[in-house]
Structure 1
């Protein structure tokens, strides 16, 4: 399983590190100009009270067809803008929404993410229509 992630403050990276410790999945931090050939899941953060990070936007635009799902970290203090980057990327690039979690996530969030990715992304032609549960 491949996870592609964008992290600015370290919250998403901490979340990803916990996931790979449990699963052994491959995690790759997205960088400008990178190329990918393996399909996977994108995990990002929400910035500036509801903005999609630029690197995330460019990555989703270029590799959207290879992405099974999008998940996002956020801060519940932002109300309706909590982890809204996932909603925006999902809507704009037709990438199914897997989940939203606060900051670096709790163990419950991590286990839920693993369950969603392991058990719910194989059910459609894209591999993840069933994911829209966030």
Structure 2
């Protein structure tokens, strides 16, 4: 069973994760300050301000990045090149493969694509088990 850690400010990512959880039964856990992470999982977060990683996500990454198999991010297409760019920045800064970028709370197609990417486990041939996952563009 997969574990997903997520960060949500406006509720968009939380709604996305509720859809994923309802369809899969996977464990989804909202990031909380001081939260202990002892199991590998995937991160889903949002992009804030003008293309920045949320502070709560940064704090989480400081102690949990080694447990993360992939990152996905939400954003708003109105921000152009900054659309969901937090996922790109996390992938670059922490070496965590980018799985998916989606708008706001995602469409049903986005939810199904996320589930398919995680289920595909195309990331099993290396240390983090996820370096080959970079699907999102």
Output the TM-score relative to the length of structure 1: 0.97
Cα deviation digits, residues 64-99 of structure 1 (max 9, x gap) = 110000000000000000000001111111111111
Is residue 131 of structure 2 the alignment partner of residue 132 of structure 1? no
- Equivalence for 1:55: 56
Is residue 76 of structure 2 the alignment partner of residue 103 of structure 1? no
Structure 2 unaligned segments of length 5 or more: list them: none
Structure 1 unaligned segments of length 5 or more: list them: none
* Cα distance, 1:122 vs structure 2: 2.6
Output the TM-score relative to the length of structure 2: 0.95
- Matches of residues 1-134 of structure 1 in structure 2 within 5 Å? 1-119=2-120, 120-134=122-136
Give the Cα–Cα distance (whole angstroms) in 2 for the partners of residues 20 and 82 of structure 1: 24
RMSD: 0.8
* Cα distance, 1:60 vs structure 2: 1.3
Give the Cα–Cα distance (whole angstroms) in 1 for the partners of residues 125 and 22 of structure 2: 26
